[in-house]
Structures are given as C-alpha cells and as structure tokens.
Amino acid sequence: MKPGLLLSMVLSLSIHAGAFNDDSLTIRSIANEVFTSGSAYRNLEYLCKHIGPRLSGSANAGKAVAWGMKAMKEAGADTVYLQPCMVMHWVHGSKESGWMVMKNGSDSKKFALQLTALGNSVGTGPQGISGPVVEVKNFDELDKLGEAGVKGKIVFLNYPMNPLFVSTFDAYEDAAKYRVRGPAKAAKYGAVGVMVRSLASNEDTHPHAGVTFYGNTSPKIPAVAISTYDANRLSSYLSQGSEVVAGFITNCVMEKDTLSYNVIGEIRGSEKPEEIITVGGHLDSWDLAEGAQDDGAGCVQSIEVLRVIKQNRLNPKRTIRAVLFMNEENGAGGAKAYYDSAVSKKEKHIFALESDAGGYTPRGFRITAGEKPFARLEKWVPLLKPYGVYYLRKTTEGDVDVSFLEKAGAVLAGLEPDSQRYFDMHHSETDVFEGVSKRELELGAINMAALVWLVSNYGLN
C-alpha cells in the first residue's frame, strides 16, 4: 500500500471517530437535560388529569388543542400554529349495557356483559337489540354460514390475538381486521348486531375500544367489543351446545364532520430550512380513559424533542416540526390535512417520526425507507444503544399519521418500545397516567431527540 493512501485512510478514520465522539457527547447532553429537567412527564400528567379523554370533535379535544399550543410555546418553538382539519365526529353517548342468557333445557341463566361500542358504530336506540348468538372464529367461517346461518342473529367474532407473535403489535395487526371490517361483513348476511372479542393480550374484564368502518355498500348495524373474559365465557357456553341469546343497548351517534386542528411547533433550520423533519404523536384518544399511553406519551415526547434541542442550543441545520395530530383513532383527518398542506406548499419532507406505541422502554425504531437511507440510519444505532435502542427494523408502511408523507418522499420512522404490556391497557379504561413510568417515557424522548438531531445535522442522502 502506498504511504499516501495509508495516511489518507488513517486521517479519514480519525475524522470519523472524532465526529462519532462529538455526536456521542451531544446525545449525552440531550439525555442529561431530559433526565434532570425534562417536562414530558409533567406535561402528560396535566393532559391526562386536567383534560382527560380526547375523542375527535369533543370539547376535551378542543381543550387539548389549546393546551398543545401552550406547551409548544413553553418548549421554546420558534413558531407555533394551528392547522385546520375536518374530523369525524362520533359521539359515544351514555354508557352501554349488555347481557347474555344461556338456555339449557328449561333452565336459563342471565349474565351481564362488559362491553363498549366500537368507534364509528351506529347505536341501537333506547330499546336495544337482541338475538341468538352465532360464533365465528374467522371470515371463512362467516362466509360459510352465509345468510342462512347469520340473518337475524348477533354475530360473535371471536379471534384472539395470537400469543405466538413475540411482538404484540404483529398480533394486533393480525387480529384487527375482525374489528375493522367484521361488522360490515356480518351486516351483508343479515346480522342484527356484532360482538367482537376485544383486542387484548391477556384475559381481563375490560372492554377495549377501537374503530370499525362500514363502507358504502353494506347496512350499518350496531357493533360492540366485549371483554376477553366474557368472550372466553361466551365461547365456552356455545361450545357446550348451549343456546345463547344476547342483547345490548348503545347510545352512540355519528354527527357531521367538524372542524378541529393539528398543533404544530417548529424550529427553523439554520442551513437547509427547506428540508423538513416531522416528529409527532396523535392528540385524540378514545374516551374510556385518559389516553396516557395512546397517545399522550407520543405527544409529550414530541414536544420534549423541541424543548431539549432549544434548551441545549443545538441549532439544527434542517427544520424540525413537532406535530400533535388530530383524529388518528377514527379517521386520520389530521394526517390527511398535514399531507395536503405539504403538497400544496411543495414542501420537501425528508424524515417523519411518530411515537404511537406507548411510553414504555424504547427498544428500536421501525423504518420505511430505501437501502441507502436505511443504511445511514443504521450506522447511528451505536450512538443510541446506551439509551436502550439497539436495532432498526425495516417495514413496508409507517404509522398512520406520518404514512401519507411517504408519497412526499419522506423516510418514515416509528419509535418501537417494548410491546409486552401495551395491549393490556390499549383502548381501555386502564390507559391512565398512573400506568406510565417517568423513566421509560424520558428514555423514549431521548432517543427520539437524538435521532431527529442526527438527521437534522447530517441529512439522509
């Protein structure tokens, strides 16, 4: 090897090592600031305890928007503004009730059901609905029963989350189609109502809410989720050959779409301000609880990204936006408005990161990207390992609120915390502030801020 080439290689390695050390020190300063003076946990407490559930279109959603603006300003954003968006306005109404009667010869036993209306479902009216229950484990079984086996009955869609998936999000994705599309499919065969097994990892007595979509071709019938405990009990009775009749009353109604807002805080880039990095979570939540993990955690972590970058005077080269999206749970109106604005303004979006998997201990990031940007991001993993992130996982689609930005050219990312406890509380009455660990929440914010800062400093080309 020529001496000049050797010297060039040594200098290159030295420069690389120096930059790596500098980046490591910067990320350490980010961590130190969050650990000692972080605001994420305090912000989450206020959001949960002083505002609470934030269903799109509700008064609490409006209060959350006002809170988000205030929190962004306190974080030190250069600019804070509201972005109008039209959102679905589904009203849950007063608490539901449900029951089932097991008929065994001349003996009958009546049991209460723990249930909740599915988001976007029609209500039953004050008289409720009732009918014999028919259980199906999948769509193939539903199709085989057809109209002859379904008409006039309540369809019980009993598809458990698969425990063989180590990632509970993979199990959720596998099972969610029965909640999202099941009521519409059952309606086509003449069902009078649908009960869906809650999407929960464990057996519990809490119904877990979530959205359903009817489409334009099927009748709209009332749909509820029942607790996994009740689902197992109901399935056991039916498997014994018992005739079961069930009924429920729901009071939900779909109003006209209404005006709401995304909340946006921005730090303008110092060298390439036209290149935009988005970091965000969704501000709306189901109304069974406080929406602490889903997705208050992602909102306060995104605000913390702005705060720590400003507090540490890091002066990002590219523009960083924190976005609190509205209407992720049952319509994605905020995500669509953000994308439409980006297209109309011909903005250049290079990276979009969402935190919508809870405030648990961070493990990695999901990345939707080509080979070159993925390889660049992967080189930074050693810088994140001291704070709990040890992998990047390549995926084909991003989280709901940032997914539209792929069409605008952005690399998509999602914080991936430990998932094992998430579906114990997801969309249920147990998703409260007390279930969030301050330390875990802060670790997520640190890793988000570190990755956003690296992209802002170096880009992805």
CA-based nearest residue to 357, from 440, 289, 438: 440
Return the C-alpha torsion angle 385, 388, 392, 397, nearest 10.
-150
Cα 227 from Cα 247, distance rounded (Å): 15
Answer whether the bond into residue 295 is a cis peptide, omega within 30°. Answer: yes
Cα 461 from Cα 453, distance rounded (Å): 15
User: What does the block give as tokens for 422?
Assistant: 């998430």
| Cβ neighbourhood burial of 261 (10 Å; 0-12, 13-18, 19+) | buried
Number of C-beta neighbours around residue 188 at 10 A: 17
Rg (C-alpha) for the chain, rounded Å, is 24
Contacts of residue 5, defined as CB under 8 A and 6 or more positions apart, other chains included, come to none
DSSP SS3 for 237? helix
| Residue 380 identity | W
| Residue 313 identity | R
| Cβ neighbourhood burial of 245 (10 Å; 0-12, 13-18, 19+) | middle
Q: Active-site residues: which are they?
A: 328
Contacts of residue 340, defined as CB under 8 A and 6 or more positions apart, other chains included, come to none
Cα 33 from Cα 29, distance rounded (Å): 6
CB contact at 8 A, 85 and 337: yes
